[in-house]
Amino acid sequence: MRVLAKVGAWRLSAAARAVIPCLWRGKYFSSGKDPVENNPATPMLRHLMYKIKSTGPITVAEYMKEVLTNPAKLLGIWFVSEWMATGKPAAFQLVELGPGRGTLAGDILRVFSQLGSVLKNCDISIHLVEKTPQGWREVFVDIDPQVSDKLRFVLAPCATPAEAFIQHDETRDHVEVSPDAGVIIQELSQRIALTGGAALIADYGHDGTKTDTFRGFCGHKLHDVLIAPGTADLTADVDFSYLRRMAQEKVASLGPIKQQTFLKNMGIDVRLKVLLDKSDEPSSRQQLLQGYDMLMNPKKMGERFNFFALLPHQRLRGRSHQRNDCQSKPSPSPVAGFSELAWQ
């Protein structure tokens, strides 16, 4: 899930995993039914297999960090940064001295097309935790001992720190938690409580109702998260109930509400009418209507994206000079998007 920044993730120490190496291969489940021939040994896959062989299975959070911020992407960002600093010249050359087979340069070139999203967003990794007869167990990524060059999911043989983020009354049997997101929300909440301001978070998400949302996309199509790592984007839905809990009541929270409702409250219908009235060309009007449909249609983005806000408590309590005739308490002004926008 994408929010604001990346921070460290929990993982078992190599020493702890070394004590019980055989147990990691006692119980596992596959990521899908993709045949081996559709699982090319990408440079990232080779890197991950070497890492797992050296230190043992890794958390899903660590897997996401490795795949989404691998060295080729980071080097690519460095080159783009320097290109921007020199005035974005039209001519651009990438030269690697002593390249061998040119693997590194090839990796950098392959990720250039993805750098737009990398520069605009940072990806927040998640931990997957599953309820078992022995209690909550975290899901790790391991090497499949029966198939060469293939990864698999395994269950940790004992408790891990990620389980501390699960509510004692949790009813779901699969939970995705993000200490990264929790740290960011706590920092935002503290700053808003102390100095004012507000935070608006928009993303795919749910209010503590979904279970397995970890997925991969390649070419705008669903992609097995363990197949050809480094070639697909990895994401998971935001659990807004978790964000609300991490705010620790330091600030007030609103939502989540569906994008369709939020934009309607913000006056998108009025905005559309104004633009249509000003547009004389049929092609322009068609584009406006298609864009509106994409944003508002429940089967498209209308109910997929959610909006969630953090505000100072006093913002919702109202100001002392704002009072209704029939009320003795302050009357808060509505929060745009979460209630109908008042046009004045």
pLDDT at 99: 60
**Residue 242 and residue 275 in one domain:** yes
> Is 18 strand, coil or helix?
helix
**Residue 247 and residue 233 in one domain:** yes
d(Cα 247, Cα 188) in Å, to the nearest integer?
Answer: 8
Residues of the chain whose pLDDT is less than 50? 1-37, 118-120, 320-325, 344
Q: Is residue 336, in this structure, part of any structural domain at all? A: no
**Residue 189 and residue 281 in one domain:** yes
d(Cα 187, Cα 193) in Å, to the nearest integer?
Answer: 10
Q: Of how many residues is the chain composed?
A: 344
Domain total of the chain:
2
pLDDT at 315: 87
**Residue 251 and residue 309 in one domain:** yes
**Tokens representing residue 340 in the block:** 């109908």
d(Cα 270, Cα 67) in Å, to the nearest integer?
Answer: 43
Q: Is residue 104, in this structure, part of any structural domain at all? A: no
d(Cα 335, Cα 34) in Å, to the nearest integer?
Answer: 48
Q: Is residue 95, in this structure, part of any structural domain at all? A: no
**Residue 135 and residue 190 in one domain:** no
Sole residue written with tokens 């004045």: 344
**Residue 207 and residue 299 in one domain:** yes
pLDDT at 35: 46
Domain range for 135: 127-177
**Residue 150 and residue 167 in one domain:** yes
Q: Is residue 17, in this structure, part of any structural domain at all? A: no
| DSSP assignment letter at 161 | G
- Using alpha carbons, select from 337, 11, 69 the residue that is nearest to residue 229: 69
**Residue 196 and residue 237 in one domain:** yes
**Residue 311 and residue 258 in one domain:** yes
Domain containing residue 297: CATH number: 3.40.50.12710
Residue 68 burial (CB < 10 Å; 0-12/13-18/19+)? Answer: buried
pLDDT at 113: 60
Is there a contact between 103 and 110 (Cβ–Cβ < 8 Å)?
A: no
Do strands 199-206 and 238-239 pair parallel, antiparallel, or not at all (unpaired)?
parallel
**Residue 244 and residue 205 in one domain:** yes
pLDDT at 66: 85
Q: Is residue 196, in this structure, part of any structural domain at all? A: yes
pLDDT in tens, 57-83: 999 999 998 887 665 656 666 677 666
Q: Is residue 185, in this structure, part of any structural domain at all? A: yes
Q: Is residue 281, in this structure, part of any structural domain at all? A: yes
Q: What one-letter code names the amino acid at 149?
A: D
pLDDT at 241: 96
**Residue 82 and residue 208 in one domain:** yes
**Residue 200 and residue 184 in one domain:** yes
pTM, whole model, 2 decimals? 0.72
Q: Is residue 150, in this structure, part of any structural domain at all? A: yes
pLDDT at 65: 86
The shares of helix, strand and coil residues in the chain, as percent rounded to the nearest 5, are 40, 20, 40
